[in-house]
Chains A and B, each alone.
Chain A
Amino acid sequence: KAGVTQTPRYLIKTRGQQVTLSCSPISGHRSVSWYQQTPGQGLQFLFEYFSETQRNKGNFPGRFSGRQFSNSRSEMNVSTLELGDSALYLCASRDTEKLFFGSGTQLSVL
C-alpha cells in the first residue's frame, strides 16, 4: 500500500497570498488530520475530516480551512498568509487508533 502523500513538498509564498496544500491518505483510510509544526509551538492539531465532514477543529484562526473529497483526499487552504504561518504542515490518515503521517509540506512565508 502506498503511504500518505503530500504535495507540494516545499512552498515559498509572500505575505497576503493564499496557499493550498494537498494530502492523499492511505487507501481505505477515511479519516484525514492536519497538523502544523513549528520550532516554537511544536506539533499542533489543525482539523480532522472524516467522510467529507470536518469532525474536529483545533484552535486556529478562520484563515485556515480544509475540505475532504469523496475519494478521501484532502486539501488545506490558508488565506492572507502571515510570516508566522511558516511551518511544516503534516497530514495524517488514521487506521483505527494509529496515525500514519505524510512527509509534510514545508511552507515559507516571506
Chain B
Amino acid sequence: KQEVTQIPAALSVPEGENLVLNCSFTDSAIYNLQWFRQDPGKGLTSLLLIQSSQREQTSGRLNASLDKSSGRSTLYIAASQPGDSATYLCAVPTGANNLFFGTGTRLTVIP
C-alpha cells in the first residue's frame, strides 16, 4: 500500500532564504509525481509535474526533483517570499487513476 510522507510538517524561514521541502513514497512504481500548493481554506494549485523519466522540472523559482529508486522527491524554492507562505503537498498517481496525497508541509516565510 502506498504511503506518502512529507517532512517537516511545518517550516518557518526568513524572507530571501532558499529552502527544500521533502516528499517520500514507499511504492516506487509511479509514472509521475505532482507538487501542489494550497492556501488556507482554498483549493489546490498545481505547481510542477515530473514524469518518471525526468529527474528535474523547473518553473520560475521552483525546482522539483524525482528519484524513484530512493522513493524521494524534493521541491526547492529559491529566494523565498512572504507570498510563498502556504501548504505544499506532493501527490502520486494510484493504479485507479486518482492521486494519493502526502501529509503536506506548512510553510511560513517571515518578512
Show the binding face of A for B, using Cβ within 8 Å.
Answer: 4, 6, 33, 42-43, 45, 48, 55-56, 58, 88, 90, 92, 97-104, 106
Contacts and interface: CB of A to CB of B under 8 A. Distances in A.
Interface stretch (B21-29, B53-61, B74-82, B99-107): B99-107
Contacts, number: 50
Contacts of B91: 43
B64 interface: no
A84 B101 CA distance: 20
Contacts of B46: 98-101
B41 A88 contact: yes
Given A42-B104, A90-B43, A106-B41, A99 B97 contact: no
A44 to B, nearest CB: 8
Contact of A103 (B36, B42, B99): B42
21 contacts: A4-B43, A6-B43, A42-B104, A43-B89, A43-B91, A45-B94, A56-B96, A58-B98, A90-B43, A90-B44, A97-B93, A98-B46, A99-B44, A99-B46, A100-B46, A101-B45, A102-B43, A103-B42, A103-B43, A104-B42, A106-B41
Interface of B: 32, 34, 36, 41-46, 49, 89, 91, 93-94, 96-104
A55 B44 contact: no
B34 to A, nearest CB: 7
Contacts of A90: 43-44
